[in-house]
Each structure stands twice: as C-alpha cells, then as structure tokens.
Structure 1
Amino acid sequence: MKIAEMNWAQVEAYLAHDDRAVVPLGSTEQHAGLSLSVDSILSERVAVEAAEPLGLPVFPVLAYGVTPYFLAYPGSISLRVETYVRIVRDVLDCLYAQGFRRILLVNGHGGNQPAGSLAIEWMADHPGTAVKFHNWWNAPKTFEKVKAIDPVASHASWMENFPWTRLPGVEQPAAQKAMIDFDRMRVMSPKAVRDYLGEGNFGGLFQRPDADMLAIWEVAVAETRALMEGPWA
C-alpha cells in the first residue's frame, strides 16, 4: 500500500503489529527515447506490486540520485554523493524514530550504490534494525531471466523498455547497438559522455516484445517480495 494512500493514524495502527517499510530509490536521467523517470517509475512500481499482498507501506520514491555523467542531457538531475547520503540517512532516521525497524530500500539506479554502504553503517549505529539494499534489476533471479532472453542489455536498452516507461509517439530504433566501452566512458566529462553515447543507450536492442518484458517483471516482483518476507536476521 502506498503511503500516499494512507493517513498518519493508519500508519500508527500499522506499526502496532508490523515494523517493516519499503523505500524506493530512483533517478531522473536520460534513458534514450524512454522517460527520464525510468529508474523512479520501475523502482516504485516493483515495490508497490511486491508489497501489495503483504500489506506493507511503500513510501514515495526518492526521484533524484547520483548521475553526474548524464548532466549534458537536458532533464537529467544529479545530487552530490554527500547530499544523497544525507537525504537517505534522514529518511532512515525518521523511520526509526517512528518505530520502523525493518526497511527495504528498492533501488532502481546504479549510481545510488552509496545508499547501500550507508545502510550498513546506519545499522551499526542502530542496533536491532535491519536494512536491505535491493538492486531490483540485477538481483540474481531477475538478471538471470534478462540474460536468458537476451544477454546484450544495459542502460536505456530493451531491458528498461516496459509499457510503463516508454513514451507515446516515440519510435524506437530497430537496430541493435554495440555495447559501449565502460572503462572509457568512466573517465569522460558529461559532454564527452553525450558525444560518445549519442541517444543514450549503452548497448543492445532498443525494444523487445512485451511478452518478454512481462516475463522479466513477474520474476522481479516475486524476487522483491521474497526479500520483504524475510529472513530479516
């Protein structure tokens, strides 16, 4: 259930019998011809669908992440690592103060890894808590399904092209793009990254049949739900 669809009294009543919470982490950044909010859309949706039968509250997605390499693409927003870690820490502190003790961070963006390191540090400072950091898209079962369908997949390629991340009226290229050189990209300035990537796909087809995408999504939801269920210790 979304926190947006609850009031404070309902959250208080929930905390009387459960201390789990879910916080999706996203980003606002270029995804070639897909929505700039791909990472936020997917992390929040997989969290909500996974949590629904368990009755766990899902907080609004943190829609900005760490993505400095895409700053030459209009619409991309990047937080400094220090800022990002402080925001996530503040969220965890608030949840703890209210009685939440088991928290799942459902992450949709690779640049948000500092939140995973923070979670380990934060737990050490808050005995009796458990925080899981879950990269939903490359979790073992989900990524195994991706590779079984098409091993050539990466950022802004077919593997992020779901019915709910594509835009009306935007045609996707038919060709398969060769995978980029990641080591080369990592030392480039934002402008050089844009010149190198072009439209923004890291490599692979731009779109696959919806049947393939829904098969991946089914695995991702189930894998995320399993983490919510436990074990937590």
Structure 2
Amino acid sequence: MRSQLFPPRVITGCLVFIYSTPQKGYYLNLIEMFSAEAAASDKSAILLPAGSLEQHGTEAPLGCDGIIAEALCRKAGELTGCPVLPCLYYGNSHCHTGFSGTFSLSVETSVNLITDIISEAGRNGFRKLLILSGHGGNRIAAEKAISELKAKISAEYSGYWQLPGYTEKEEELFGKTGYHITTSEVSMVWHILKKPVPGVYSGCYPKTLPNTSDFTPEQWKEKYPDGGVGGDMSRVSTEKGCALFDYAVDMLAEKIREIRK
C-alpha cells in the first residue's frame, strides 16, 4: 500500500508541511549525512524532479508542474528504493511572464544549474541521473546540459507524459486534455494535494494555435487572457487524476528498474 501525502498544518499562523516517512526510498533534503551515504550505497541511479513556477490560471497552483513531478518521483522512489533529490521548482517560463506569479530562468542559467546538479550527483557516487519534468519548458536546457556533460555520470531527461503508455491512458480517462492548464494536470495536482479544485473557470480554454510554443509574453496574454490553452475544466476529476497518477507512478518505477540494471 502506498504511503499517503500528509496535508499541510497551520501552527500559530505558519504553514507547515508534514511528510510521511517512506518504508523504502530516500528524500535527500530530509535525511542526514550518514543516511545520505546509505542512500548512495547502491549508487546506480538518483531522481531529479523538475517543474516551474508559473501561472496556471485559477485552476492550479503556480508550482503545479513541480508538485506533480516531485510526487511521482517520491512515490516511485518508495516503490524502488531509489533516492530522490529536492525538486527543481524554477524553469524557463518566459511566455508566461505577462502573468503575475511567474518566475522564469533564462536557458543559460537553467543549463548551468542542471549541469552542476548532475555533476554533484556524480561526485557523490551516483552513476545515472533521471530528470523527470512536469514542465515542457525545461527540455531545451536539460538536453543541452546533458549533451555537454563531462562528469562520469550519465543523465536522461523525460517529461512524465513521455512515460510508456501515458498519453494513451490520459486520453482514455480524459479525452484531449489541452496544451497548458490541462484537464489531466489539474486533476492530478488536486488529487496529490487532497483538496477540491478551487478554480472559477469551468469551461474549455481556447484551442491551441499552430505557433503557440513561440509566443511572446504579450502574444500569450492577448490570445489566452485567462492563461489556459485547450483544457476542458468541466472534465476535471480528482478520481481520474488519481488513476492517471498511479499509472504514471508504476511506469516510472519500471523505468527506474530498467536504468538501474
């Protein structure tokens, strides 16, 4: 049985996140040095979840991408005993900087940051690092960092939607889910956070235009003033989000077992 994510508690006005203790797996930001050495004793692989801090309309939190990627890595880490690094919550989100709350890194900064993290994983004795991203804008920087890697460690980048069978499972549960603020990610993030969907937008966002990925912040704000593209918020379901999340966890666990061979 998979361990539950504990909800945040408010203590004297402070928001405190309480994490469950896994039976297997290590979260490197929550353990001390000697436990970290034990976690690295296998040294075959380590996970780096990556996301963004960007607008997700009224339907999802700014950290939606990272929340999903980190939760997937933690659950799969528990199933396989694979160590998990703290989530990289900042990425390239330039096209969303017309909306408040978005923090975007340049590609150059992201490349340097990812390169150093991979190199440090190698210095700590790990042989492989898997970046699991919840944000498509991380791909260019991650792949550039990996291609220029000089450390004695191999690295791989994957969006969670690239896990085997994910897109088919997603379409089976939700149909077409859109391009940004997707039906499936909104469903998954509120399943993970164990909260009802707070959004006030209940319809279907405008359709994706052919050149959406190349939009400037001004163009995005003009064409998609509510932030989202293509997602149908009337089909959001945390129950289906749970089913898709569990499927992705199982596929990620299988991928981890493969790369650890």
TM-score under structure 2 length normalisation: 0.80
Q: How many angstroms apart in 2 are the aligned matches of 1:56 and 1:212?
A: 27
CA offsets 1:105-155 (integer angstroms, 9 cap, x no match): 111110101202322332xx345x332212102434111111222124221
CA offsets 1:41-82 (integer angstroms, 9 cap, x no match): 011110000111222211111110011000010110111111
Q: How many angstroms apart in 1 are the aligned matches of 2:66 and 2:177?
A: 23
Which one-letter code corresponds to 2:207 in the other structure? M
Q: Is the 8 A contact 2:170 2:244 kept in 1?
A: yes
1:119 aligns with one of 146, 151, 160: 146
Which one-letter code corresponds to 1:119 in the other structure? I
Which one-letter code corresponds to 1:219 in the other structure? Y
Q: How many angstroms apart in 2 are the aligned matches of 1:146 and 1:9?
A: 40
Matched with 2:22 is: none
Change (3 A) 1:141 1:198: same
Which segment is superposed worse, 162-171 or 20-29? 162-171
Structure 1 or 2: more helix by fraction: 1
Which one-letter code corresponds to 2:147 in the other structure? I
2:64 aligns with one of 32, 38, 53: 38
Q: How many angstroms apart in 2 are the aligned matches of 1:190 and 1:120?
A: 29
State the shift of 1:192 in Å: 2.4
Q: How many angstroms apart in 1 are the aligned matches of 2:200 and 2:257?
A: 38
State the shift of 1:171 in Å: 3.3
Structure 2: gaps spanning 5 or more residues: 1-25
Q: How many angstroms apart in 1 are the aligned matches of 2:51 and 2:229?
A: 19
Q: How many angstroms apart in 1 are the aligned matches of 2:87 and 2:80?
A: 19
Matched with 1:190 is: 217
Change (3 A) 1:165 1:119: farther
Matched with 2:84 is: 58
Q: Percent identity among equivalent residues?
A: 24
Change (3 A) 1:17 1:193: closer
Matched with 1:139 is: 163
Change (3 A) 1:50 1:159: same
State the shift of 1:167 in Å: 7.0
Match of 2:91, SS?
coil
Change (3 A) 1:28 1:167: farther
Matched with 1:151 is: 176
**1:8-19 superposed matches below 5 A:** 8-19=33-44
Match of 1:22, SS?
strand
Residue 213 in structure 1 maps to residue 237 in structure 2: no
Q: Is the 8 A contact 1:40 1:61 kept in 2?
A: yes
Matched with 1:67 is: 93
Q: Kindly tell me the number of residue pairs found equivalent between the two proteins.
A: 229
Which segment is superposed worse, 157-166 or 38-47? 157-166
Change (3 A) 1:188 1:126: closer
Matched with 2:256 is: 228
Matched with 2:46 is: 21
